[in-house]
Amino acid sequence: MNSQQRNILLIDKPKGITSFDVIRALRKKLGMIKMGHAGTLDPLATGLMLVGVGEGTKELGGLLGLPKTYEAEVLLGVKTETGDLEGATMEETAVSEINEGEVKKVLAGMVGTLLLPVPKYSAVKRGGEPLYKKARRGEHVEVPIKEMAVYSLKLLTHAPFDNKYVLGIELEVGSGVYVRSIAEEIGRRLGVPATIKELRRTKIGKYCVEDAEKI
């Protein structure tokens, strides 16, 4: 990898590791200590991360506000503690079929600025401490409501799955949007519980995951 000559690296994060694990692996590989990234991905998620190396860390602030594009699988019929399949199931129901027209109408109605609760398993701080730490201790977590900008939201696929239903969606969103919150809101508007089954970030501004390197 001739990445030491570049200030910003495009990395395709694999599933099952944290964003900090990516930084740690790159530090070991490149022998660089000064690194940071523009936008965290959950362990379940894959896809594009922008990593600043050396002087490139000074550019990260300008990259944080860029719009982000995701492809996601939303599982209808399940609500979990974390908003994805890593968490314990809190609610479950069978979903034997969906109305494609209704789904498309719901998605179209969510384009704009939404006021949604952030996931309680998130790094948002309350009382100087991330919410996920309080949640892991079993403490009551009062989650804040946040404005989330959705620029586009469209249905790609839909298919039955194990007495449930999976929607494949693509969405472009503003900075600080939690796709887990978007998925739960889709379910709420359709009248069923919902959670993220798969999530992949494909673009950040002009940067595309097709141009990214594996770690």
Catalytic positions: 42
9 beta partners: 51
- Determine the Cα–Cα distance for residues 68 and 18; give it in Å rounded to an integer: 18
Integer CA distances (angstroms), 142 to 54, 66, 120, 125, 139, in order: 38, 28, 8, 11, 10
Q: Which two tokens stand for residue 192?
A: 């069923």
* Token representation of residue 6: 């570049």
Give SS3 for 215. coil
- Strands 194-204 and 46-53, bridge-based pairing: parallel
CB 85 within 8 A of CB 44: yes
Side-chain half-sphere of 28: how many Cα atoms within 13 Å? 7
